[in-house]
């Protein structure tokens, strides 16, 4: 009888243990599920943006300083992982950050800035990486500067507004060219005029963003655009041209900016002039041929 009671007691103990074990396993499973749901919820909450590359650039060059600012953003895992605030000059050539890094954008020496532009830009980029939200910043009354970022005295609103625009537009594919500054010039000075055509192109996010068609004289002095702007290259007054060389050059540059392809133009039978650009009577083939040569390195 005692043996049977002992066996019965043992069975009861085992049943209680099994029930307790099942409850414990269920609790662990529930906890794991809750943890997983929390992770998924946090991940969903943190992953604000679709993965990919984002880009925005100002519509026009500043009349005050000749720069057009841009922002490139990379998103991975739904989070902003890299930010590049930069700018391109109306004169083409090196981008703003590279120019500053090379010591050729002298804000400290001549403008009394607290640090070079590129160093301040990096600090501003870090602020966006931390906040993950281009709207999460307060500006001073001028809606340009901010007191929110230590060590930054430059105006920052262009970067955050461009970042907001880029993220709103969604991921983009870069253009066909490699980013950088490209230059080409004619091999010889023209015997008749003494000028040699030059061309500078800046590519950003794979697209041509600035074109500067100009000319230098064998005797030195001001370049062709400067002479034209000063009225010293008198094509209109002395040659009956439809507009100054400067104004026509700008139209030719705009055509290349629009087409993004220096081969996408048709010339007249002289292979020099074109009917494709309204308001342009000067020969344009030198510019487009130099652009084609310069961009060989960008492919």
User: What CATH number did the domain enclosing 271 receive?
Assistant: 3.90.1010.20
Q: What is the pLDDT of residues 202-251, one digit of tens each?
A: 999 999 999 999 999 999 999 999 999 999 998 887 777 889 999 999 99
| Residue span of the structural domain in which 123 resides | 52-169
DSSP at 218: T
| pTM of this structure | 0.83
Q: Using the 3D structure, point to which of 169, 189, 219 is the last residue of a domain.
A: 169
Which residues on adjacent β-strands are paired with residue 272?
A: none
Rounded CA-CA distance 203/279 in Å is 26
**Residue 145 domain flag:** yes
Phi, psi for residue 144 in degrees, rounded to 5: -135, -50
Q: What is the pLDDT of residues 116-163, one digit of tens each?
A: 999 999 999 999 999 999 999 999 999 999 999 999 999 999 999 999
**Residue 293 domain flag:** yes
The separation between CA 214 and the C-alpha centre of its own chain, rounded to angstroms, equals 25
Structure confidence at residue 47 (pLDDT): 76
Q: What is the pLDDT of residues 245-284, one digit of tens each?
A: 999 999 999 999 999 999 999 999 999 999 999 999 999 9
DSSP at 208: E
Q: Using the 3D structure, point to which of 136, 169, 202 is the last residue of a domain.
A: 169
- Give the residue from 296, 219, 236 showing the smallest Cα distance to 262: 296
Q: Say if residue 62 is in the same domain as residue 128.
A: yes
pLDDT at 198 over 50: yes
Two tokens, residue 282:
């000067």
- Give the residue from 167, 212, 4 showing the smallest Cα distance to 71: 167
pLDDT at 40 over 50: no
Two tokens, residue 84:
């590049």
Average pLDDT, the chain: 87
Structure confidence at residue 46 (pLDDT): 65
Structure confidence at residue 10 (pLDDT): 36
Do the beta carbons of residue 160 and residue 71 sit within 8 Å?
Answer: no
Structure confidence at residue 143 (pLDDT): 97
Higher pLDDT, 203 or 26: 203
Q: Say if residue 130 is in the same domain as residue 209.
A: no
Structure confidence at residue 155 (pLDDT): 96
For the segment 13-41, the average pLDDT, to the nearest whole number, is: 38
pLDDT at 1 over 70: no
Q: Using the 3D structure, point to which of 125, 147, 169 is the last residue of a domain.
A: 169
Structure confidence at residue 268 (pLDDT): 98
Residue 138 burial (10 A CB sphere; 0-12, 13-18, 19+): exposed
**Residue 20 domain flag:** no
Q: Say if residue 249 is in the same domain as residue 187.
A: yes
Give the chain's domain count.
2
Q: Say if residue 143 is in the same domain as residue 190.
A: no
Q: Say if residue 211 is in the same domain as residue 256.
A: yes
294: confidence class by pLDDT, cuts 50, 70, 90: very high
Q: What is the pLDDT of residues 70-111, one digit of tens each?
A: 999 999 999 999 999 999 999 999 999 999 999 999 888 777
The separation between CA 48 and the C-alpha centre of its own chain, rounded to angstroms, equals 21
Q: Say if residue 233 is in the same domain as residue 290.
A: yes
**Residue 18 domain flag:** no
4: confidence class by pLDDT, cuts 50, 70, 90: very low
Q: Say if residue 283 is in the same domain as residue 216.
A: yes
Two tokens, residue 96:
């703003």
Residue 146 burial (10 A CB sphere; 0-12, 13-18, 19+): buried
Do the beta carbons of residue 236 and residue 244 sit within 8 Å?
Answer: yes
């Amino acid at each position: 009888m005692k043996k049977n009671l002992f066996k019965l007691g043992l069975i009861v103990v085992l049943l209680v243990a099994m029930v307790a074990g099942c409850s414990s396993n269920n609790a662990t499973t529930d906890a794991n599920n809750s943890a997983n749901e929390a992770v998924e919820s946090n991940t969903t909450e943190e992953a604000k943006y679709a993965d990919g590359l984002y880009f925005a650039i100002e519509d026009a060059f500043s009349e005050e300083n000749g720069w057009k600012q841009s922002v490139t953003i990379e998103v991975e895992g739904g989070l902003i992982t890299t930010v590049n605030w930069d700018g391109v000059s109306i004169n083409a050539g090196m981008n703003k950050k590279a120019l500053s890094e090379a010591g050729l954008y002298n804000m400290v020496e001549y403008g009394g800035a607290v640090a070079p532009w590129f160093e301040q830009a990096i600090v501003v980029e870090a602020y966006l990486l931390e906040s993950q939200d281009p709207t999460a910043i307060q500006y001073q009354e001028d809606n340009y500067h901010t007191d929110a970022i230590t060590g930054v005295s430059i105006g920052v609103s262009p970067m955050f507004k461009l970042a907001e625009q880029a993220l709103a537009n969604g991921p983009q594919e870069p253009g066909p060219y490699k980013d950088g500054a490209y230059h080409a010039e004619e091999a010889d000075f023209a015997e008749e005029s003494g000028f040699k055509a030059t061309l500078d192109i800046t590519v950003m996010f794979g697209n041509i963003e600035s074109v500067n068609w100009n000319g230098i004289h064998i005797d030195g002095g001001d370049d062709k655009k400067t002479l034209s702007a000063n009225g010293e290259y008198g094509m209109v007054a002395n040659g009956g041209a439809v507009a100054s060389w400067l104004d026509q050059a700008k139209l030719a540059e705009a055509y290349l900016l629009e087409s993004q392809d220096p081969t996408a133009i048709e010339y007249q039978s002289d292979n020099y002039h074109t009917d494709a650009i309204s308001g342009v009577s000067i020969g344009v083939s030198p510019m487009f041929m130099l652009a084609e040569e310069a961009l060989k390195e960008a492919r």
